[in-house]
Amino acid sequence: MTQSIDLIDALKRELRTHRISYSVVAKHLDLSEASVKRMLAGGHLTLQRLEKICALVHWDLSDLNRAALDQQSRLDHLTPEQEQEIASDLLLLLVAVSVINGFSYEDLLQHYCLSDTDCIRKLARLDALKLIDLLPGNRIKLRISPNFRWRADGPIQRFFLDKVVDEFFNSRFDQSSEKLLVINGLLSDASNIEMQKKMDRWLSEFNETARQDAGMDMKDKSGTTLVVALRRWRFPLFDKLLRK
């Protein structure tokens, strides 16, 4: 089952790359769009239908298998040493975060005050760190998995907490593109763990949404940050009121 899911995930990524919608796939298979979504979400596809969808992206089954194997070898996270090198170089961090979010070489030069030399140097360093493959023509191929994330309490996360968090929360969160929710309650250990699992699913949904938008023109997208946190914590001001 895991192998079939890997194959279908690889096929869905290629469909997005070619900007082929589920409605196009449905018409090609003579099915409803809802049926196609269920099949791709559940990982239940006959070999014949798999081959027919592959034909839409000019693949055969061997191409699909190679793409799935390539994805399996991608990184879910960097080592602490790799993160530390990126966190200690602001320009390298800027380029790293940007390419992870889909920036091309041309996008980097267009959006930031980067010289060709500096941009290529930083991309080459990310290639050496195994975050990307820098291909001919300065094309960028990510070597990270869809589940990639920075290490918990790692150098990048600490950089965010030390340098960025105050600026991030310096907002009234009253614009149409902003939202802040704060809630507290009493949870058991089991419920706390369940909430953390749901947070992981939110992360996956955010990444999937970003991948769906990957084919859009850069001018039609904006940098967007989602912060979701959960911890055992109460307002310190209440501590003095606790019964000893």
Which alpha helices (H) appear in the chain, and where do they start and end? 2-17, 22-29, 33-42, 47-56, 61-72, 80-87, 90-100, 105-111, 116-128, 155-159, 165-168, 189-212
C-alpha separations of 82 from 110, 125, 131, 150 in Å: 27, 11, 9, 11
> In 3D, which of 210, 208, 231 has the Cα closest to residue 221?
210
**pTM for this model (two decimals):** 0.65
* 3-state secondary structure (DSSP) of residue 14: helix
- Single-letter code of the amino acid located at 100: I
Give pLDDT, residue 1. 46
pLDDT of residue 27: 92
DSSP string, 24-79: HHHHHHTS-HHHHHHHHHHT---HHHHHHHHHHTT--HHHHHHHHHHHHTSBSS--
Residues of the chain with pLDDT under 50: 1
At 105-153, the pLDDT tens digits run 999 999 998 899 999 999 999 999 989 999 999 999 888 887 788 998 8
Round to whole Å and give the CA distance between 89 and 63.
Answer: 38
Pick 2-72's CATH classification: 1.10.10, 1.10.3470, 2.60.40, 1.10.260: 1.10.260
Q: What pLDDT does residue 240 have?
A: 66
pLDDT at residue 84, as a whole number: 95
pLDDT computed for residue 219 by the predictor: 85
Domain spans of the chain, in order of start: 2-72, 80-142, 171-244
85 close to 74: Cβ distance less than 8 angstroms: no
**For residue 93, what pLDDT is reported?**
94
